[in-house]
Amino acid sequence: MSGFVSFVSSGPGDPELLTLKAADRLARADVVLFDDLASGPVLGHARPGAELIAVGKRAGKPSAKQDHVNQLLVEHAQRGLRVVRLKSGDCGIFGRLEEELTALAEARIAHEIIPGVPSACAAAAAAGLPLTRRLTARRVQFITGADVTGDLPEGLNWPALADPGATTVVFMGKRTFPRLVAGLIGQGLSPDTPALLAEAVGHPAQRLCSSTIAALAADLAQSRSEQPALILYGPLAGFEAPDAADDA
């Protein structure tokens, strides 16, 4: 008898940002396959006695191979178990979801996708920033700063990335951001374009740092921090939200 797989989006890591459906699936799961960034307090919602299996991938660290993750999903579901595949942020954004969906489809295993709070939205909220603004920030774009080798991806749409009227969110881009910025400036984007580094969003170690793309690139070229991070740049990255206390 085939089981069932729920792809559960954990949000940025704060368990209070889990959706009700995500918490329900965790509470009923027999097996939870979780990523590194989806561990910690979120796993406290798992059913007592559920098998917890770490299958995360982190740059520069020993990581589970994608084929092995696919195999684990299929094997546990084929045992008739309720399986949760726990991914950080929203599982459909740079989460290799399609490869796992394909493996389940080929094995004819029923599944569902439960969306969550994207880490980009959580980072902006933590910094008190909107992602869009009428007239001056009409577009939001999400990009990955690293390909499968960890290098800056080839074939980037440089004119789009250097659009001064867009908010750009770079996932997994701390190591490659200096090279990205060199390309952006070469395309005419001002070195003084506001930038925000958001590390460990939704976790106790969360750190937000406002800068410019040029200054942040210089800092990251010297940084050895291994905290996961997002980088936002564009007209709103330097926006300062009104102090709610001033309006009271």
pLDDT digits (tens, 9 = 90+) for 57-87: 655 556 789 999 999 999 999 999 999 999 9
What value does the mean pLDDT take over residues 84-110?
Answer: 96
User: Burial of 42 by CB count in 10 Å (0-12 exposed, 13-18 middle, 19+ buried)?
Assistant: buried
User: Which amino acid, residue 226?
Assistant: E
Residues of the chain with CATH 3.40.1010.10: 4-117
Domain 120-233 sits in CATH at 3.30.950.10
Q: Are 237 and 129 in contact (CB under 8 A)?
A: yes
SS (H, E, C) the chain: CCCEEEEEECECCCHHHCCHHHHHHHHHCCEEEECHHHCHHHHHHCCCCCEEEECCCCCCCCCCCHHHHHHHHHHHHHCCCEEEEEECECCCCCCCHHHHHHHHHHCCCEEEEECCCCHHHHHHHHCCCCCCECCCECEEEEEECCCCCCCCCCCCCHHHHCCCCEEEEEECCCCCHHHHHHHHHHCCCCCCCEEEEEECCCCCCCEEEEEEHHHHHHHHHHCCCCCCEEEEECCCCCCCCCCHHHHC
The active-site residue out of 30, 35, 90, 163 is 35
What's residue 55's pLDDT?
A: 93
Residues of the chain with CATH 3.30.950.10: 120-233
The active-site residue out of 21, 24, 36, 57 is 57
Statement: residue 152 has pLDDT above 50: yes
pTM of the model: 0.89
Domain 4-117 sits in CATH at 3.40.1010.10
User: How many angstroms separate the CA atoms of 216 and 210, rounded?
Assistant: 8
Statement: residue 243 has pLDDT above 60: no
Q: Are 177 and 147 in contact (CB under 8 A)?
A: no
Q: Does the annotation count 30 as an active-site position?
A: no
What's residue 36's pLDDT?
A: 87
What's residue 248's pLDDT?
A: 37
Share of residues in the chain with pLDDT > 70 (%): 92
pLDDT in tens, 5-64: 999 999 998 999 999 999 999 999 999 999 988 888 999 999 999 999 999 865 555 678
Q: Does the annotation count 57 as an active-site position?
A: yes
Q: Count of CB atoms within 10 A of residue 111's CB?
A: 17
pLDDT confidence of 245, banded at 50, 70, 90? very low
pLDDT in tens, 207-228: 999 999 999 999 999 988 888 9
